[in-house]
Structure formats: C-alpha cells, structure tokens
Amino acid sequence: MKYKVVFFDLDGTLTDPREGIVNSIQYAADYYGIKTEKQDLLKYIGPPLKDTFKELLGERYTDKLGEEAVSKYRERYANGGIFENKIYPNVKETLALLKEKGFVLCTASSKPQVYVKQILEYFDIDKYFDYVGGATLDGKISRKEDVINRVISDNGFSPDEILMVGDRKYDLTGAEKMKIDAVGVLYGFGSYKELSAEKSVALIDNIKQLTDILK
C-alpha cells in the first residue's frame, strides 16, 4: 500500500458550506456597498478570504481594507454561518472505513483551524481525524501549500506516503508544490475543466471511490 496518510480539504470535499459562506461574503460585500449575486460568489469557496475581497473591492483594495473585510465576513460567519452547512453523502462511512483500515487522516483546509475543528465536531466526524490542519486567523498561513507544509512538518510525514483530497485547483496545485499526490473530487465547487487542467492521480464523483484508490 503506497499511501499511509490522507489529507482532506473541508469545504466542498467533506461538507457543502455554500449557504454559510456565500451569505457571509454577501454580508461583508453589502457593508462596502458592493452588489453581488449569490450564484456569482460560489467561485470564492476555496481560496483564501483575503484574495476574495481583493477581487471584490477592486481598486479600493488595500491590505488594511482587506483585513477589515475579512473581519466583517467573520462577524456573520462565526455567528451562524459556520453551521449553515451540510455533510456530503458517504463521508462518514468512508472516513470510518479508512480509519478502520489503518490510515492516518488529517485535514488541510484554507479555513481557519478553529472553524475546522468546530465543523468536524458539529458533524461528529472529528473522531476520525488524527490531526486538524487549517489556516491561521491572522492569515499568515492560508494558502493551501502553506497549510499542507504545516501539517507535514508538525507530524513528520514523508511526502510520498500522503494523498491529498480536494475539490478545487488550489488543492491540486498546493499538493503538487509540496510534492504529494492528489485526488480531485467533482461533486464540490471545482468543475471538471478546472480540475482536469491540474495534475492528479484521479478525479472522482463520489468520496466512496477513495477506497478503491487506497486499496
């Protein structure tokens, strides 16, 4: 068995957070007088929040304003948005099976670690994870490759024993930068076109298919 460790993205991979994230982005955008359509905001599920507001604020953007916008987002997200969320089908069963088979399971999310922990606990899947990796609230660690690097260094993993699983190109490119293999999931927020353009060992339609890859 080549892989011993599996890193999971959270949003769009384990859970569907669209309602909470989109509502919170829109809340912050409204504060700055930016008119948005919810459907147009789905593309912002995945990348760091600061990048999202850099695009939305356009020429008005400054680092200070970006940080303020992220705080505004979290004002809404932390007070309800975090739980406007659903777990995807077959996630619990797949995590339980992988754990039973002896795999080490970790998250590697661009969402702040404190929120990742709350969500895993909310859906009662925290018991399957050996390590919860996420971004820092101050934004110093937010890009996928930085999160992955932190999880590897904190645990002393070898890159060749890890498989990253995620739904956006950031998961696949972040894995490639850290020299680990990746699987893209097509039921999240990244299209087939987006994911197929990046390096992966497989693209899957259902998380259950992971068990075939990890035989």
Active site positions, annotated: 9
Burial level of 184, CB count in 10 A (0-12/13-18/19+)?
Answer: buried
What backbone torsions phi and psi does residue 212 show, to the nearest 5 degrees? Answer: -75, -40
Three-state SS for 139-170 is CCCCCHHHHHHHHHHHHCCCHHHEEEEECCHH
Q: Which residues contact 191 (CB under 8 A, 6 or more apart)?
A: none
Longest CA–CA separation in the chain, Å: 53
- Contact yes or no for 81/23 (Cβ under 8 A): yes
As a whole number of angstroms, the distance between CA 138 and CA 174 comes to: 20
